[in-house]
């Protein structure tokens, strides 16, 4: 069985969307096998987002990710990585397909840059990324 990592970002937590978000993954056939709430450190976030640390938007992204606790989960199922990405939707909620978390539950009224950043969830992009991120967040 494949495993993937999903984070509920601070916007999802503050809006109380946790249960709704989990249902999207479960309805797509995935099983939540681990869940914890965590106040991430800047160091942990830099490791998680290592590919983005040097980008101009990173300081805002880190500040946003530190603005409340986050929920860290592992979902399991056949093809879990691809299924979780599909259910999550495109990075920009306005470009995500209907039926995805980011499109259905995202705030399309925000200015472009905030909307792209505050997109409710993270889901690992590849199997390798999933393995790395599961180790990072769950040890
Ligand atoms: P994802 O795999 O769809 O989450 O997207 P990426 O790996 O490309 O980016 C990681 C996260 O960084 C996104 O989910 C957004 O929260 C944030 N992000 C990406 N691009 C931008 C941007 O241009 N501006 C801002 N402010 N945040 C961004």
In contact, 77 and 84? CB cutoff 8 Å: no
Please report how many Cα atoms fall inside a 13 Å half-sphere around the Cα of residue 1, on the Cβ side. 11
In contact, 130 and 30? CB cutoff 8 Å: no
In contact, 134 and 109? CB cutoff 8 Å: no
Under DSSP, the state recorded for 111 is -
Q: 61 CB under 6 A from ligand 1?
A: yes
CA of 78 to the centre of ligand 1 (A): 26
CA of 112 to the centre of ligand 1 (A): 12
> Could you tell me the CA-to-CA distances from 91 to 1, 39, 125, 139 in Å, in that order?
26, 23, 11, 27
Residue 69 known to be catalytic = no
Chain segment 3-45, per-residue pLDDT in tens: 999 999 999 999 999 999 999 999 999 999 999 999 999 999 9
Q: 57 CB under 6 A from ligand 1?
A: yes
Q: 125 CB under 6 A from ligand 1?
A: yes
Q: What is the pTM (predicted TM-score) of this model?
A: 0.97
**Which atom of ligand 1 is nearest to 51's Cα?**
7
> Could you tell me the CA-to-CA distances from 33 to 5, 74, 91, 116, 134 in Å, in that order?
10, 6, 25, 28, 12
Kindly indicate the confidence band of residue 136, based on its pLDDT and cuts at 50, 70 and 90. Answer: very high
In contact, 95 and 108? CB cutoff 8 Å: no
Distance between CA atoms of 104 and 115, rounded to whole angstroms?
Answer: 13
Chain segment 71-98, per-residue pLDDT in tens: 999 999 999 999 999 999 999 999 999 9
Q: Identify which of 97, 136, 110 has the alpha carbon closest to the alpha carbon of residue 11.
A: 110
Domains with residue ranges and CATH for the chain: 2-138 (3.30.70.141)
Pocket probe for ligand 1: among 91, 100, 102, 113, the residue whose CB has the most ligand atoms within 8 Å is 91
């Amino acid at each position: 069985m494949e495993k993937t990592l999903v984070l509920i970002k601070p916007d999802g937590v503050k809006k109380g969307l946790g249960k709704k978000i989990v249902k999207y993954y479960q309805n797509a056939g995935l099983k939540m096998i681990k869940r914890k709430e965590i106040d991430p450190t800047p160091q942990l976030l830099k490791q998680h987002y290592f590919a983005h640390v040097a980008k101009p938007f990173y300081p805002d992204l880190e500040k946003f990710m530190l603005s409340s606790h986050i929920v860290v989960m592992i979902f399991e199922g056949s093809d879990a990585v691809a299924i979780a990405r599909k259910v999550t939707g495109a990075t920009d909620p306005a470009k995500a397909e209907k039926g995805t978390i980011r499109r259905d539950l995202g705030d399309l009224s925000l200015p472009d840059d905030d909307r792209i950043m505050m997109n409710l969830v993270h889901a690992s992009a590849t199997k390798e990324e999933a393995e790395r991120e599961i180790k990072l967040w769950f040890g």
